[in-house]
């Protein structure tokens, strides 16, 4: 397995182009199953998750071409089941359930996997699909769904940790071809849901309220092909913003959407980082003096769980005590022990991490446990003295396009070491 070798102590400076959103493009790829016509998706990040999702769609029978950050997908002849071993390895694959059921009225999808960051049940997905009239059975590692017809319904999607993003996406796609009106209450409000709705509307869907807690979908008889450009990745932008702050640098994020980053930018400014907004870009300037901040992860528009690990790495550098509370996933502090290998002072108490920052970090070999933990370790490694080796960076390749190359262009001393 590949690793990153990082020589710390370098100030990041320059411009970086923010790629298309991983969390937006995966359900959009699934939505192409709703039509037999060709769909073209632009600004697609070249990630292992995107290529993996392409293989899943091909296993169902779709034709997938990926070239120069553009996906062309034609799902003219698809079947209601895919490759079990492919689908179970990626959590995002569960979002093929809704469109397959809507298009074919029958679907068999293996239970999904993904990063090991806590229990992530799909009960709300199943509740939503069942509310439209589908018969569901979970057996042998598969979800079997059948529905001679789908009928619009009022569906409440609130869960223990708030609305479900993928569950909202699944129901949204299924409802586009259902008879009548579907009202989704306590829907996820993330920008990625708005982006999916925009793509579905370009395909001919009738959707109102995306981005709010109530989404109304009036079913149509069929959808057609469409072209769409994916929104920029707010988590990649947030990660590079934290990297600039951690190194005391100045980095301009080309293509970043400040309106998607409100909670992240607020915490950065609270910690003493300067933020400058301009047309089509965002500049982050670290002044070398960080202040501790407290943060609690929440559904959008609160502080995102996907930025929790990166903020923790930054707070290791801020003199004083920060408290970071995780309310979305119960096991998302696995990076804390690896940050401690670099010299961080972190104590875990229930859902909170107490970070006593300001101690110098020193390089060491560390192990990435999931996608965002990997990013946090890279940030910490760049701020640490000496050499840090981040192992198992295949996690990073799932969600960051050529991260080491982008960082190197900003001045970081970072290289990929091929695994054996």
> What is the pLDDT averaged over residues 56-69?
95
CB 34 within 8 A of CB 223: yes
pLDDT-based confidence at residue 115 (cuts at 50, 70, 90):
very low
CA 98 remoteness from chain centre: 19
Judge whether residue 116 has pLDDT over 70.
no
61: left (phi over 0), alpha (psi -120 to 50) or beta: left
CB of 114 closer than 8 Å to CB of 91: yes
Predicted confidence (pLDDT) at residue 420 exceeds the cutoff of 70: no
pLDDT in tens, 348-402: 999 999 999 999 999 999 998 899 999 999 999 999 999 999 999 999 999 999 9
Give CA–CA dist 113/110, Å, rounded.
9
DSSP code per residue over 188-219: ---HHHHHHHHHHHHTT-EEE-TTSSEEEEE-
pLDDT in the model for residue 406? 98
Identical fold between 3-19+232-417 and 22-220? yes
Q: How does the average pLDDT of the chain come out, rounded?
A: 93
Query: Which CATH fold would you assign to the domain 3-19+232-417?
Result: UDP-n-acetylglucosamine1-carboxyvinyl-transferase; Chain (3.65.10)
Structure confidence at residue 329 (pLDDT): 81
The residues annotated with a catalytic role in the active site are: 115
146-182 burial string, b = 16+ CB within 10 Å, else e?
ebeebbbbebebeeebbbbbbbbbbbbbbbbbbeeeb
DSSP-assigned beta bridge partners for residue 38:
74
pTM attached to this predicted model = 0.95
Of residues 253 and 140, more confidence is placed in 253
- Pairwise CA distance, residues 308 & 324, whole Å: 8
| Contact present, 117 and 331 (Cβ < 8 Å) | yes
Question: 22-220 maps to which CATH number?
Answer: 3.65.10.10
CA atoms within 13 A on the CB side of 302: 16
Which residue's structure tokens are 């970090």? 361
Domain segments of the chain: what residues?
3-19+232-417, 22-220
Q: Are 101 and 150 in contact (CB under 8 A)?
A: yes
Summarize pLDDT for 206-251 with one digit per residue, the tens.
999 999 999 999 999 999 999 999 999 999 999 999 999 999 999 9
CA dist list (Å): 226 to 40, 238, 324: 6, 30, 42
Q: Provide the 3-class DSSP secondary structure of residue 385.
A: strand
Q: How far is CA 14 from the centre of its chain?
A: 25
């Amino acid at each position: 397995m590949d690793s990153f070798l990082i020589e710390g102590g370098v100030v990041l400076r320059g411009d970086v182009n923010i790629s298309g959103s991983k969390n937006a493009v995966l359900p959009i790829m699934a939505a192409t199953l709703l039509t037999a016509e060709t769909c073209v998706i632009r600004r697609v990040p070249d990630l292992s998750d995107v290529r993996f999702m392409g293989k899943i769609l091909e296993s169902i029978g779709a034709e997938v071409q990926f070239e120069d950050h553009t996906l062309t997908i034609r799902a003219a002849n698809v079947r209601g089941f895919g490759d079990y071993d492919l689908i179970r390895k990626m959590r995002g694959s569960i979002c093929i359930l809704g469109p397959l059921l809507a298009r074919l009225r029958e679907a068999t999808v293996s239970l999904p996997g993904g990063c090991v960051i806590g229990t992530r049940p799909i009960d709300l997905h199943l509740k939503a699909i069942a509310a439209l009239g589908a018969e569901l059975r979970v057996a042998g590692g598969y979800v079997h769904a059948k529905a001679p017809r789908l009928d619009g319904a009022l569906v409440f999607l609130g869960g223990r940790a708030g609305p479900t993003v993928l569950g909202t996406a699944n129901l949204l796609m299924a409802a586009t071809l259902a008879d009548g009106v579907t009202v989704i209450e306590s829907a996820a409000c993330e920008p990625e849901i708005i982006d999916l709705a925009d793509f579905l509307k370009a395909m001919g869907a009738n959707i109102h309220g995306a981005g709010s807690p109530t989404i109304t979908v009036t079913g149509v008889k069929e959808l057609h092909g469409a072209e769409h450009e994916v929104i920029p990745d707010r988590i990649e932008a947030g990660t590079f913003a934290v990297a600039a702050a951690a190194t005391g640098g100045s980095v301009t994020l080309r293509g970043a959407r400040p309106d998607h980053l409100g909670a992240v930018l607020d915490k950065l400014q609270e910690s003493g980082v300067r933020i400058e907004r301009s047309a089509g870009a965002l500049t982050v300037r670290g002044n070398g003096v960080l202040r501790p901040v407290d943060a609690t992860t929440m559904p959008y528009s609160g502080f995102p769980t996907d930025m929790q690990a990166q903020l923790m790495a930054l707070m290791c550098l801020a003199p004083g005590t920060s408290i970071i509370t995780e309310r979305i996933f119960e096991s998302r502090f696995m990076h804390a022990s690896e940050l401690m290998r670099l010299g961080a002072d972190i104590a875990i108490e229930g859902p909170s991490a107490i970070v006593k920052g300001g101690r110098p970090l020193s390089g060491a070999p560390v192990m990435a446990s999931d996608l965002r933990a990997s990013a946090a370790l890279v940030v910490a490694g760049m701020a640490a003295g000496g050499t840090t080796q981040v192992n198992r960076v295949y996690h990073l390749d799932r969600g960051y396009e050529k991260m080491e190359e982008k960082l190197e262009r900003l001045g970081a001393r970072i290289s990929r070491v091929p695994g054996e």
